[in-house]
Each structure stands twice: as C-alpha cells, then as structure tokens.
Structure 1
Amino acid sequence: MIQFDQLQQQVLAVVRANPPKNLVLRDCVGAVLAEPILATVDLPPFDNSAMDGYAVRAADVTNLPVTLRVVGVSSAGHPADCTVGAAEAARILTGAVMVQGADTVVRVEDTQPAASPHSPDTQSLDTQSPDTQSLDTQSPDTQSLDTQSPDTQSLDTHSPDTHSPEMQISEAPSEFVVITAAPAPGANIRRAGEAARTGDELVAAGTVLNPGHLGLAASAGCRELMVIERPRVAVLSTGDELLPPGAGQLEPGQIFESNSTVLAALARSMGCEVTTHHCMDDAASLRTLLMELAGSHQLILSSGGVSMGGEYDSMRQAVAGFDVEFLKIAIRPAKPMAFGRIEESILFGLPGNPVSSVVAFELFVRPAIRQISGLAPALPPLIHGVAGEQLPRLAGEFTYMLSTRQDPQGDWVSTGGFGSHVLGGIAHAQALAVIPPGPEPVAKGSDLHLIPLWS
C-alpha cells in the first residue's frame, strides 16, 4: 500500500517541462506563456474619443446653450484634416483621433443640430470679437461653409468615412451644432499610453492564455507568442464490454464507453493535444497499440485493466517487460492504479470505474500535466466548507467524496456516496471533499476541506 502523497512525488520526479515554441496568436488559447508579452506601442497609440460626439474647446462651452460652427469630421481610421478654433467644433466618432485644437469631447446626446449661428434660445459667440474667429461665411479669412467646396469635407451620411449607427447624421448635415450640456474639460478622451507604454509588461510568463490575453497581445502588435509546447496525451479505453456511444444497441453485458470522453475533456481543458483510442481485451493488440502511442505522445491515460484481481485483464500482460508498476493506493475511490514508462512515454493506468478515474486524474494526472506545461504542479487551492450531512469515513484511508452545494452559500453534500461507478455523481459534483482517516463519520456541521473540480 502506498500513500497518495508518496505517489504524487514519484510521478513528479519523472515528469519534465516541455520546451518553449513560437505559436501564431490564434493557436495560443489555453497555452502557457513562456515569455512575457510586452507592449510594442503605446496603448492606445494616440489620443482618441471615448464616444460619439463633438470635439470642442472647453473654454467655448462654459455658458450654455451655445452654438458652434462645425469644421470637420474625425472617424475611426480617418483623422480630421482641420483644427478646431474659437467658436468651432468637429464631429468625432468613438475611437477616432482627437482633433487638433480641441481638448474636450461633448457626447452627441448633449447636442442639437442647428442651421445657423443664431439658433433660438442659444447664445451665439460674438463673431466680431478680436479674440474669436469670424463666422462671416463671406469673409476671405474664414473657411467657406459651402458643403460642395473642395476645401471642406462633405458630411454626406452615405460616406463610408462618416457613417455611424450610433451617431445619426442627416442627409443635409447641419453646419452648426448647439451644445446643451458640457462635461468637465478633458472629458471623454482616452489619452495615448494611458493603458500601457511601449515596453510595459502586459502579461506575465507562466500565464495560461485566455481569449482576453490574445486580444491584448494583438492590440500590442504581436503576431506570435512564445509558449510552452502543449502536452501530447493519448486517452485509451480497454475492455470487451465497451461500446462507443451511438454505435448501436447494447448487447447483454455491454455498456457505452464514457471514461475516454471524460478524461479527454479534462486533458483538453488543461490545454493538451489529445487523441482517443480503444482496444479490446487482447494483450498482444494492446501492447502493439501502447508502443505506437508511446512514439507520439508524452502521456498515455488508460482506463481499466488495473484491478486487484486482474487475471482477466490484459493490461498486465501488455506491459510486461516495461517499467510499469501496479499499485494499491491508500485512498478511496481510485485505490488500484498502474504507473510507469512505455519507452519514453509515461503511462497512467487508471481504474475503469468512472468516479475512480476522475479522482485519479485530479490527484495524479493533473499535477503531471501542469508540470509538463511549465506550471507549478500543485493541486488547486483547497476551499473550505461545512458538511451539510453526515459523511462516511474510513479508518485507514483518505476518502475523496464527490460533493456539491445547494446554493452559493450552502453546506456541502455528497452527490454519489462511495459508488465509484455513479456517473450522475460526477455530472453534478463541484468538488471532492477530502475526508482524512478516522474512526467516526464526519458529523453534519463539521468543517470540510475540498478540492474544486473542473478548474
């Protein structure tokens, strides 16, 4: 009999981390980052508008309402070719480059179109003031407001440069805008570099990459990332009684094979490249398949054929001569297991009972995959809870009980008891309750430590 922590140490002693490799960004989700992601540009690269509206000078919108002359448009990818002066504004769309001369963005909801600088109930800035730019459209010193002039930008709403579903633009755009409310100076502008400066670390090495990380890397101009090579895992089911799901009607003594589905999903959820296989109870065929898989996979996860009374199991015969040991672990479920090497590949011979195979995966395979992936091999941090019912305890063995809670703040209850074959218990479980050896059952209301599942 071997203690589970001794077997964990034995497993990790023979597992090595994979080398790093470059992967294109789209293939990196779930991979472990080998080198930090650094910003290659400022983020954002330029001052831009946080919303649709009008770029203005804050000094021009202190007394409201006020009418301003519209001198241009800045849209995403098409900066405005103008400068906002006194008593002027420029249309601006979300993400567009900030217009020269403007220091504030007024959101479109706080504006109204106007046909002239003397709209009713608004204050017109004195166009003859020496401190402001004349609004006399006939003055040779001002820009013509003729929308057909070659010197001005048309606000035709059918232009692909200016159309925005969020910002309604009429077919005959207004040459003036009434500002009815104004934010504080500098509002609604995203400043260049406010998220990150060139050279800043965006994502640390050792991070398991999610879609958000990839989006951040793309925004920083990264096409490829240096990641740890993914573990290559073969999942192998064995047994004459197993029928692939959907392969036909069950004959007497047959069951649908489910272990490979669960184990493959667990490995894929950890970023592994996974293949699945099945072999009948024939030692020669199984040995041939194991040797083929060992040539292309780092880990082989088999289920079945490792029971204590295994005279009918072909696994022992198939691995004869290899460095594989059949073990009896001081835990329940998942007491029987095989572990060792098939050439350069590591074999985990997991129990055939579904719950037992999941428990064995969580205790022994998960730490191994984490170490191969370049991560710390520790199990997920234990969570603390309270027993919502009396739970059985064994005198000399640790028990791992499939458990769930009825609501986010509720106590923990078993989903399947000791039945290592109960698939319904797996489907509804949220954690494994860790029950140390002892003479008495765990009383309702007692403190529990639990290993979270599916994390």
Structure 2
Amino acid sequence: MRAAEEELAVEQALALVRRQSSGEPRPTGRPASADQGPDAHRAVSAGQGCAAGRSGPASEHEDAARSSASDRRAGRIPDPDHRADRPRAQDRRERSTSWPEARALAARSGRGDPVRVRHLPLDQALGHVLAEPLVALTDLPPFDTSAMDGWVVSGPGPWTVREPTVSEEGLEGAGDAGPGPSPDPGAKSRPVRDRGILAGHGAPARLPDGDAIRIATGARIPADANAVIRSEHGRVDEAKGLLHARYRVNPGQDIRPRGQECRSGDLLLPAGTVVTPAVLGLTAAAGYDGLATVPRPRVDVLVLGDELLTSGLPYDGLIRDALGPMIGPWLRALGANVSSPQRLGDDAAALRRALTDSDADLVVTTGGTAAGPVDHVHPVLSELGAELLVDGVAVRPGHPMLLARLEAAGPFIVGLPGNPLAAVAGLLTLAEPLLHGLAGHVPYEPYRAVVRDELPGHPHDTRLVPVVHRVAVSCHEATGGRESGGRGAWGRGADRPTGGAGARDVGTGGVAEYVVPLRYDGPAMLRGIAAADGLAVVPPGGVRSGTEVEILELPWASVTPWTEGCFT
C-alpha cells in the first residue's frame, strides 16, 4: 500500500474506532470508496472488524494501527508494491516537476556545455546551425548596378544613343569591387555595340551628359549616369538616334546603389540561425566559401519491451512497435543525427550495456520508465550513478518521463513512456528543448493561438492536446459574405495574425486563425497526433473557448497558412 494511502486509511480506521468506543453513530452519506477509492473502503472495513472483535480501549487499536503503518514505512514489513531498487509511483508523483519548469530545465541543460564548432563548405552546411554570427565580407551590391534591362542615361532627355566601349581607365577601376578574379583582359576596348553594357564586365567609361547606352540587368553603372530606363519604357528614334522616355524619369530609378543591402562588416545573421537554402545564398553573396557551424547532436534510440513486434499483425498479446519507426525520424526532423534503433526488450543487462557503450550526445529510451516489474530504466540509471534532472513531469499524457545525465560530460538520457502519445509528449517536453540547446538554436518565443472549443483540464497537471489550425476567411465576392473555413499552420517567425486575442477579426477580406482540438487524444493513441498541426498546452483546470493557449508546433508543420475554397 502506498504511503499516502496508508496514512489516509489509518486515520479513517482510527476515527472509526474512536466513534465506536464513544458510542457515536456512523456518519451517513457517500461511502468512503466514492471519495477515497477502494483502499480507503478496505481500511474502514478492517477498522470495523477490529472494533467488533475486541473490547479494549480505543488507544490499543490506535497504537496497533500506527505501529503497523510505521513498520511498513520503515521497511520492516514488506510492501508488495515496492522493491528496494525501484521507486514507487506515488513517490515519483510527489517529486514530479511542473511542465513549464521541466521544459525550461531541459533547454538550460542543452546550453550548459561549451559550444562546439565545425567548419563546413557551403554545400555541406544545409540544416546546420551557425556557431558564429554571419558578418558581411563585402558591400552588397559591391558596386552600383542596373536593376533592369534597358538604357542607362545621364542628364535630361532626349538622349543620344551611342555604342560604348570599355576604356582602359575603366578596367583599372574594376578592382574597386574587392578581391576576386581579374576581369577578362581581352575585354579592353572591345566594342559592346547592340548588346550594350553587360554584367560581369569591368567598369565602363564615364557617361557624358545627354548620352544613353544599352545596359543589362546586373551590369555596372557608368560614372555620372543618373537613371536606368526600362526597355518597355523607352522609344528610340532611329532616324535621329535619340532615346525618348515614355514616362517621367526620376534620378536613381532602377539603379541598385553600392551597399544598398549591406556594408562590409554588417551583421547579417546571429549565431544560432538555422542554415536554410536562402541562408546559403546570402552567405555566398556575402563572400563566404564555408561556415562555422554547430555539429548536429548524435542520438541513440533504445526501444524497450518484450511485447513488441517489428512486422505483421498483433497476436497472442504481442503488439506492433509504433515508437521505433516514429522516434528516429522525429528526432531527425529536430536536426539530430540518429542511429538505427536498438531493440533491447525488457533486459536490464542489455540496457546497462547500451547506455555505457553509447558515445552519443543523447540516448532516448522508449518504455520502462514507470514502476512495473520489468521497468528497468530507473534501477539501471541508479546503478550507473546517473544524475536525475527530471524524474516525472506533472503533465498528461506522459507523466513518467525523465531526463538524466550519466556523467558531467556524458550523454543525456531522455526516458519516454511506452504509450505512443505519452512518448510524443516526452519528445516535445524534454527532447526538443534539449536538442535545440545542444544544436545551438536561438531560443524562440512560444507561439500562442486562440482555441475555438472548450478544453477540459486536469485538476493539478498540464494537459497536452492534439489540435489542428483553422483559418476563417471572409470572401464576399466568392461566397456571398460567408466565412470560408480552411486549415493552415503558422510556423515560428511567420507573419501570424495579430490583434484581439491573437487573431484578426473576420470581416471583409479579414482572416481569423484559431485551433480546434482533435479526438483520439488518449495516451496510447496516435490517430489524433497524426492529423495534428501541434499540441495545445492546457493549464490545470482547463480553458474556455476563445482563450489563447500556447501551441507546441510539430517539426514538419507548414510555415505558410492555406485555406480551402477561397484565395482572395
């Protein structure tokens, strides 16, 4: 019997003994089992039998009951639900960490060690995280360039169209662009004629006032030029050799001035930024051939449980392993390098060997974190002297998750519950913030959204509920003023709706974003999370419809919202 339940049962038995000894009538109302459960009811029944079978004073029964409970707690009477090397479930519940605290502790743990740096060429850096700030090595653009195909002009029009040549003086000035290969020497004094000034050539000669020259997009602007006229905005009088503008010409139009995007030495991106294809493009433009990155965390996955099948249909008490196929890809989506899952069954010795032999940054176990007869994670960690950083979290599902570390510089261990949705809760609560810290990610602000339906809560614990995003769009032309419901997801850093309780009001052309809870949210279920965009964080006590809640987004959630039936 658990300690807290024993205390309650003893107090009830003593109260009953006192009432019977003093002749007080037994109170009426709901039976004890309705409030305190079957253990309390059994304790009351035991107290009644004791009082009926003895005629001694109440103090004798009190002393005996207290002595029995004291002996059991002191270990002199064996507890059938407890083994010396296995913590009791009630004990761990009392030690549980709150959900926000557990998530924050995991993030701090991931950032506790010095950042490792690995230099990679650009073609290998995709998906890694910047270990150092990205600083421009050159001006962008490095010289004044044309933003359009057309004519570059100097002074007021109309302009005399001439055929340019690249001057000796202009080629010598081409070095102003900074370090790099020299222009083609054969380009000196080479006539450009109908093609005009092209990209990739040296600086053209100074453009006299009143002249115009054909120019290509990206080509260098001649000195003293003051505008570019797009091809479709100009008309050439072939007979007179004059260029006329169809529209007003403004100084500087369609010219990208040197340093418009950045100057050499400007901070482009902070350390902790994920290297995306766009980041690779910016990096190359800024003059880099490689990047200093944080190595991706290495993760080993240990699948525990004798009841798991790797193929076929369930039979004879055996079930398919859902976590082995899911955990590895999930961790890879979080940016980790993950080894193939090791299936250990319920074997304490195999678990001990796998933990001690691992050279990973993180070991993730599935199952075996509770207090059952074959739940070996806690006893093995205790034998290995691991430090338990989080031992149970006040969250549903996923309460028996844990975070530990074998040594000061050894691997972290995230113990996930065996139930699939509970394991997902453990991934998002402990593994994700830990991996983000190990990988050097920039901390991000929590994403919040309005929930459309009421979300019941647990009296004391946080709940994580699968939700789907919805976007309501008012499309008066397409739907006669009716709202068109759609499904979408807003990624971190996306242009999310703002105003009110986190969403724009629906009006003419307006958008309102919200989330809706999904069914199949039991700890052993995956049907809900498979269709979800994220998990809503429901505080103890629950929330009403229209309340803004934190959303844990899934790593593959789309960063661009979309709607069904209306795109206006």
TM-score by length of 2: 0.60
CA offset digits 1:142-197 (Å, max 9, x no partner): xxxxxxxxxxxxxxxxxxxxxxxxxxxxxxxxxxx564445312211111111111
Q: CA RMSD in A?
A: 3.0
Asked whether the 8 Å contact 2:107–2:436 carries over to 1, the reply is no
1:101 offset after TM fit, Å?
Answer: 4.4
Which protein is richer in strand relative to its size?
1
Is structure 2 residue 305 aligned with structure 1 residue 202? no
Q: In the alignment, what sits opposite 1:117?
A: 240
C-alpha change, 1:84 and 1:30, in structure 2 (3 Å) is same
Amino acid at match of 1:397: D
Aligned partners of 2:553, 2:160: CA distance in 1, in Å? 62
SS of the equivalent of 2:345 reads coil
SS at match of 2:341: strand
Distance 2:269 2:108 in 1: 29
Asked whether 1:102 is paired with 2:167, we answer no
Contact 1:433 1:448 in 2 (8 A): no
Please name the residue that 1:423 is paired with: 526
State how far apart, in whole Å, the 2-side matches of 1:43 and 1:350 are.
49
User: CA 1:79–1:109 in structure 2 vs 1: closer, same or farther (change >3 Å)?
Assistant: farther
Q: Is the 8 A contact 1:30 1:270 kept in 2?
A: no
Q: Is the 8 A contact 1:323 1:340 kept in 2?
A: no
Judge which range, 8-17 or 223-232, deviates more.
8-17
Residue type of the partner of 2:131? A
Larger mean Cα displacement after TM superposition, 192-201 or 282-291: 282-291
Cα separation, 2, equivalents of 1:103 and 1:382:
47
Alpha-carbon displacement from aligned partner over 1:60-105 (angstroms, at most 9, x marks no partner): 33xxxx6633444211112475543355322211111113443211
Match of 2:161 in 1: 68
Match of 1:385 among 415, 435, 450: 450
CA drift at 1:219: 0.7
Gaps of 5+ in 1: 119-123, 125-176
* Counterpart residue type for residue 328 of structure 2: A
CA distance in 1, matches of 2:324, 2:340: 7
Q: Is the deviation greater in 263-272 or in 424-433? A: 263-272
- Provide the residue aligned with 1:45 in structure 2: 142
Report the Cα distance in structure 2 between the residues aligned to 1:410 and 1:254, rounded to whole angstroms: 43
Give runs of aligned pairs for residues 180-195 of structure 1, distance below 5 A. Answer: 180-195=246-261
For the residue of structure 2 that corresponds to 1:74, the secondary structure is coil
TM-fit CA distance, 1:257: 3.6
1:400 pairs, out of 430, 454, 464, with 464
* Aligned residue number for residue 270 of structure 1: 334
Question: Do the aligned partners of 1:70 and 1:88 also contact (CA within 8 Å) in 2?
Answer: no
Structure (1 or 2) with the greater helix fraction: 2
- Cα shift at 1:345: 1.1
Determine which structure has more spread, i.e. the larger CA radius of gyration. Answer: 2
Spell out, residue by residue over 1:402-455, the C-alpha distance to the aligned partner (whole angstroms, 9 max, x if none): 2224325255332135412222211222332222333xx644x25242233125
* Residue correspondence of structure 1 range 34-433 to structure 2 within 5 A: 34-61=131-158, 68-71=161-164, 72=192, 73-79=196-202, 81-112=204-235, 115-117=238-240, 179-244=245-310, 249-252=312-315, 253-283=317-347, 284-292=349-357, 294-295=358-359, 297-309=360-372, 311-313=373-375, 315=377, 319=381, 321-324=383-386, 327-342=391-406, 344-375=410-441, 380-386=445-451, 388-407=452-471, 409=512, 411-433=514-536
1:369-389: CA deviation from partner (whole Å, max 9, x where unpaired): 2222334667x5151423x33
Instruction: Spell out, residue by residue over 1:104-145, the C-alpha distance to the aligned partner (whole angstroms, 9 max, x if none).
Output: 111111234654326xxxxx5xxxxxxxxxxxxxxxxxxxxx
**Contact residue 69 and residue 117 of structure 1 kept, 8 A:** no
Q: 1:192 to 1:232 in 2, by over 3 A?
A: same
Of residues 420-429 and 356-365 in structure 1, the stretch that sits farther from structure 2 once superposed is 420-429
The size of the alignment, in residue pairs, is 383
Give the match's secondary structure for 1:361: helix
SS state at 2:129 partner:
coil
Query: 2:346 touches 2:374 (CA, 8 Å); kept in 1?
Result: no
Determine the structure 1 residue equivalent to 2:9: none
- Partners in 1 of 2:155 and 2:552 — Cα distance? 54
Cα drift, residue 32 of structure 1 = 3.0
Which moved further from structure 2: 7-16 or 210-219?
Answer: 7-16
Between the aligned partners of 2:136 and 2:394, the Cα distance in structure 1 is 50
The yes-or-no answer on 1:3 pairing with 2:67 is no
- Per-residue deviation, 1:358: 1.4
Q: Is the 8 A contact 1:74 1:80 kept in 2?
A: no
Is 1:447 the counterpart of 2:447? The answer is no
User: Could you give the per-residue CA deviations for residues 336-392 of structure 1, whole angstroms, max 9, x where no partner exists?
Assistant: 1243234511111101222111111111222222222334667x5151423x33333
Distance 1:191 1:261, change over 3 A: farther
What residue is the counterpart of 1:161 in the other structure?
none
Q: Residue 305 of structure 1 aligns to which amino acid in structure 2?
A: G
Query: What do residues 291-332 of structure 1 show as CA deviations (whole Å, max 9, x unaligned)?
Result: 33x22x1101121222342x2445456656223559443221
CA drift of 1:270 comes to: 3.2
Contact 1:68/1:178 (<8 A) preserved: no
Cα pair distance change 1:13/1:206, threshold 3 Å: closer
Cα deviation for residue 49 of structure 1 reads: 0.3
1:427 maps to a residue whose letter is A
Task: Sort the Cα spacing of 1:423 and 1:29 in 2 relative to 1 into closer, same or farther, 3 A.
Answer: same
- Structure-2 change in CA distance of 1:259 and 1:399 (3 Å): same
User: 1:255 deviation in Å?
Assistant: 4.7
Letter in 1 for 2:127: G
Range moving further from structure 2, 313-322 or 266-275: 313-322
**Secondary structure of 2:312's aligned partner:** coil
SS in 2 for 1:452: strand
Q: Match for 2:434: what amino acid?
A: A
- Counterpart of 2:398, as a letter, is A
Distance 2:398 2:239 in 1: 82
- Tell me, in whole angstroms, the C-alpha distance in 1 between the residues paired with 2:222 and 2:419: 67
Contact residue 102 and residue 429 of structure 2 kept, 8 A? no
Contact 2:468 2:518 in 1 (8 A): yes
Residues in 1 aligned to 2:226 and 2:107: alpha-carbon distance in whole angstroms: 59
In structure 1, C-alpha distance between the alignment counterparts of 2:135 and 2:108, rounded to whole Å: 34
2:144, 2:443 → 1: CA distance?
A: 44
Greater relative contact order, per chain length (Cα 8 Å cut-off, separation 6+): 1
Distance 2:229 2:289 in 1: 36
Structure 1 residues 275 and 108 mapped into 2: Cα distance closer, same or farther (>3 Å)? same
